[in-house]
């Protein structure tokens, strides 16, 4: 997908993307609120191996200490250490369950073991970390060889665990970010589905590609259309008025060899603005000095009288039923002499009314001839 097409999709569906992003953040916040708080406390144990006085002996002892630190970090989560912890603290748990709440870390090239205990209580988390450190220092001498009655490996607690002030889980910022990302992914899926199955036309290029026809004009949406439905007839400048004048220019280039032209304006569904569009087209053509006749052929839902602020008369329905002659049914509107034929009195069953060839129901049309 090209970048400009992606930008258009985002621009047309920004509301759906924003809603999905907000939903994702709300879901992340809800997850952060409902997830039980857990606290993690840390205790540090230093491992030291007895060695000789020479440099080589010290280097060998250091390497051996690092190796033993990694071995003892694994021992810290075994039953030989965890069962006494359960007994000393009176925990209502089992060794496998406690093992999931205890972890150890040996920093690179270090002889120190960091023991972490996790629990929903900050004090219990600190007690678990400290008890595991105590039991590990007591167990290590039983697992190492002795030299002249003393163990070659010594362990010492260099920092005890304190109850943490803030919980370690859940990670609220992370959950919010993940919720936002999930919302954006959901928004992208929604936009892709709407783009694949949607039938709404959003751009001139899309309309041209679908219909294979040239676009003769575009009219921007304006919230003031209810207050000023026909800005062209007022002679004032506005964006909509200028766009209708540009449409008039393009219409005059259609079929240039035809002295009398007829344009039919229709829409796929009611309420898409065909009456307003037709009225402005006719007013723009009349303002250019052309003789224009505007005929309202929508006998089901006539709105042209409301748009032009005209008094309803016999109109097209009366002409079709022979009640009034065509010449008497036209009304003059505006300062440019636009001739308007309203729909007139709506017949009981508009679909059964006879109409001459070339008149389409549920549409409005404007015809004009050059002066």
**Co-location of 179 and 100 in the same domain:** no
**Co-location of 139 and 183 in the same domain:** no
**Co-location of 252 and 105 in the same domain:** no
pLDDT at 250: 85
Token pair for 123: 């004090």
**Co-location of 123 and 180 in the same domain:** no
State the DSSP string of 160-201. Answer: -----SS-SBS-HHHHHHHHHHHHHHHHHHHHHHHHHH----
pLDDT category at 212 given cuts 50, 70, 90 is confident
Residues 6+ apart with CB under 8 A from 118: 38, 39, 40, 101, 102, 103, 125, 128, 168, 169
3-state SS assignment for residue 348: coil
297 in a domain, yes or no?
A: yes
Residues 6+ apart with CB under 8 A from 274: 265, 266, 267, 298, 363, 364
- Model confidence pLDDT, tens digit, residues 242-284: 888 888 888 888 877 787 888 888 887 887 888 888 888 898 8
Q: Whats the size of the chain, residue-wise?
A: 371
**Co-location of 31 and 46 in the same domain:** no
- CATH number of domain containing 262: 3.40.50.300
- Model confidence pLDDT, tens digit, residues 52-108: 555 666 677 778 788 888 888 999 999 999 999 999 999 999 999 999 999 999 988
**Co-location of 30 and 44 in the same domain:** no
Domain with 180, as residue range(s), is: 3-35+171-197
Instruction: Look at residue 118 and tell me whether its pLDDT is greater than 50.
Output: yes
**Co-location of 134 and 181 in the same domain:** no
203 in a domain, yes or no?
A: no
- Of the CA atoms within 13 Å of residue 148, those in its CB half-sphere come to 1
pLDDT at 101: 93
Output 230 or 151, whichever has higher pLDDT: 230
pLDDT at 182: 95
Q: How many structural domains does the chain have?
A: 3
64 in a domain, yes or no?
A: yes
Instruction: Look at residue 143 and tell me whether its pLDDT is greater than 90.
Output: no
Mark out the alpha helices in the chain (DSSP H runs). Answer: 3-12, 14-34, 55-75, 79-89, 95-99, 122-143, 172-197, 204-211, 231-234, 239-252, 274-287, 304-308, 315-320, 326-329
Tokens 């889980």 — which residue? 169
**Co-location of 135 and 249 in the same domain:** no
**Co-location of 268 and 328 in the same domain:** yes
Question: Order of strands across the sheet with 153-159?
Answer: 102-105, 112-119, 39-49, 153-159
**Co-location of 364 and 221 in the same domain:** yes
**Co-location of 234 and 177 in the same domain:** no
Tokens 């990694």 — which residue? 70
DSSP letter assigned to residue 238: -
pLDDT at 33: 92
**Co-location of 187 and 284 in the same domain:** no
């Amino acid at each position: 997908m090209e970048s400009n097409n992606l930008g258009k999709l985002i621009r047309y569906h920004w509301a759906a993307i924003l809603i999905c992003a907000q939903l994702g953040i709300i879901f992340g916040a809800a997850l952060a609120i409902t997830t039980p708080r857990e606290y993690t406390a840390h205790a540090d144990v230093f491992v030291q191996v007895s060695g000789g006085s020479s440099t080589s002996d010290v280097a060998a002892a250091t390497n051996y200490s690092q190796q033993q630190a990694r071995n003892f970090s694994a021992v810290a989560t075994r039953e030989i250490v965890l069962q006494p912890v359960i007994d000393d603290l009176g925990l209502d748990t089992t060794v496998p369950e406690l093992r999931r709440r205890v972890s150890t870390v040996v920093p690179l090239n270090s002889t120190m073991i960091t023991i972490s205990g996790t629990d929903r209580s900050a004090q219990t988390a600190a007690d678990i970390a400290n008890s595991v450190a105590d039991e590990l220092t007591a167990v290590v001498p039983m697992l190492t060889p002795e030299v002249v009655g003393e163990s070659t490996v010594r362990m010492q607690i260099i920092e005890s665990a304190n109850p943490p002030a803030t919980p370690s889980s859940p990670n609220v910022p992370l959950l919010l970010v993940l919720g936002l990302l999930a919302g954006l992914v959901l928004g992208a899926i929604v936009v892709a589905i709407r783009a694949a199955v949607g039938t709404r036309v959003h751009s001139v290029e899309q309309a041209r590609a679908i219909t294979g026809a040239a676009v003769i004009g575009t009219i921007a949406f304006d919230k003031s259309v209810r207050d000023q439905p026909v800005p062209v007839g007022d002679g004032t400048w506005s964006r909509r008025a200028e766009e209708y004048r540009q449409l008039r220019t393009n219409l005059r280039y259609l079929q240039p060899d035809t002295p009398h032209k007829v344009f039919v304006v229709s829409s796929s569904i009611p309420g898409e603005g065909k009456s307003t569009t037709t009225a402005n087209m006719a007013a723009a053509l009349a303002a250019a000095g052309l003789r224009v006749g505007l005929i309202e052929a929508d006998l089901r839902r006539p709105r042209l009288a409301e748009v032009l602020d005209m008094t309803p008369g016999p109109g097209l329905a009366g002409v079709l039923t022979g009640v009034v002659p065509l010449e008497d049914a036209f009304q003059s509107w505006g300062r440019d002499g636009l001739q308007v034929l309203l729909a007139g009195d709506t017949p009981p069953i508009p679909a059964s009314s006879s109409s001459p060839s070339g008149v389409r129901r549920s549409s409005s049309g404007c015809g004009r001839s050059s002066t």
